[in-house]
Amino acid sequence: MKIIVAKDYDEMSAKAAELFIDRINKKNDLVLGLATGTTPLGLYKNLADAYKAGKVDFSKVSSFNLDEYVGVGHDNENGYYYFMYHNLFKHINIDLNNVRVENGLAEDLEAECEDYSNSIKAKGGIDLQLLGIGHDGHIGFNEPSSVFSKGTHVEELTQMTIEANSRLFNDISEVPTRALTMGVGDIFAAKEICMLVNGKGKAEILKKCLYGDIDPMVQASILQLHGNVTVICDAEAAELL
Decide whether 51 or 83 has the Cβ nearer to ligand GLP: 83
Least distance from ligand GLP to the Cβ atom of residue 209, Å: 12
Q: Are 79 and 48 in contact (CB under 8 A)?
A: no
Residue 132 contacts ligand GLP per CB under 6 A: yes
Could you say which residues in the range 48-107 bind ligand GLP, by CB under 6 A? 66-67
Residue 186 contacts ligand GLP per CB under 6 A: no
With contacts defined by CB under 6 A, name the span among 5-13, 30-38, 97-105, 216-224 that binds ligand GLP.
30-38
Cite the active site residues: 67, 136, 138, 143
Q: Which of 31, 133, 233, 238 binds ligand GLP (CB under 6 A)?
A: 133
Decide whether 57 or 230 has the Cβ nearer to ligand GLP: 230
Decide whether 23 or 138 has the Cβ nearer to ligand GLP: 138
Residue 194 contacts ligand GLP per CB under 6 A: no
Least distance from ligand GLP to the Cβ atom of residue 67, Å: 5
Residue 134 contacts ligand GLP per CB under 6 A: yes
- Give the residues lining the site for ligand GLP (CB under 6 A): 35-39, 66-67, 132-134, 140-141, 161, 165
